[in-house]
Structure 1
């Protein structure tokens, strides 16, 4: 069911809506923002983690357990840059929250390049720092 993203929304609107869904732990809603053939890439992922997910089912499988690991509380820093391609934005942001397994704090900075076509994410390249992976989420 595509209940979260009508077509023809700007990349910035889709991205901001996705952040709200993640804060609400609505992973199913976040996945609904994706195009069926969307690609999620992690160029700096460690060898034991996926570097490329192709298709909405692969994104869903990867994200399904996210709330079991991290409870996001806020994105205190968020800057969205437009590019010459109106479908693509570059995002600089930080996220803070709680690690579920340890009840400890979570903090991570990200740079993402996100392309949205007809209100759906078609490509998301996430440049997060693998050195920042909490020990409770490794292996």
Structure 2
């Protein structure tokens, strides 16, 4: 991806990397000072990750916990603040440890500057994962 990549194109590329389980390449889409926020995170789970290194550490084991199969619905809305998009999407797959289905709807507010993600607010429903107590992925924080 080039420095002139539109936020929607960068985001779609990131979804492909997640499906390919290429977490290192997905992390490379981030600015060194990027901020990843989880406004609905329950107590004991990270609410904010600051910097590419923290984001990479958090995401490193993602494919070991959630095996994503598809994003059957992705709708990207351009905001009046040009570098920011709002994404409505659904992810499906399975929880690796239990084999249970994973089906999550997200709303994300993502800001991209100079071809890198600088801020990502991930609005997801933690109750979906809390129902499967064996999945501890979102709780990891360092």
Task: Give TM-score, length-normalised by structure 2.
Answer: 0.92
| Matched residues, number | 135
Question: Secondary structure in 1 aligned to 2:124?
Answer: coil
CA RMSD of aligned residues (A): 0.9
Partner of 2:31: 35
**Structure 2 residue 21 is matched with structure 1 residue 14:** no
Structure 1 residues 1-139: aligned runs within 5 Å: 5-133=1-129, 134-138=132-136
Rounded to whole Å, the distance in 1 between the matches of 2:95 and 2:6 is 32
Question: Secondary structure in 1 aligned to 2:94?
Answer: strand
Rounded to whole Å, the distance in 2 between the matches of 1:84 and 1:60 is 30
Which consecutive aligned stretches of 4+ in structure 1 deviate over 3 angstroms post-superposition? none
- 1:61-104 Cα offsets, whole Å, 9 max, x none, are 10001011011000011110110011000000000001110122
Give the C-alpha shift of residue 135 in structure 1: 2.2
Gaps of 5+ in 2: none
* Stretch of structure 1 that moved more, 10-19 or 96-105: 96-105
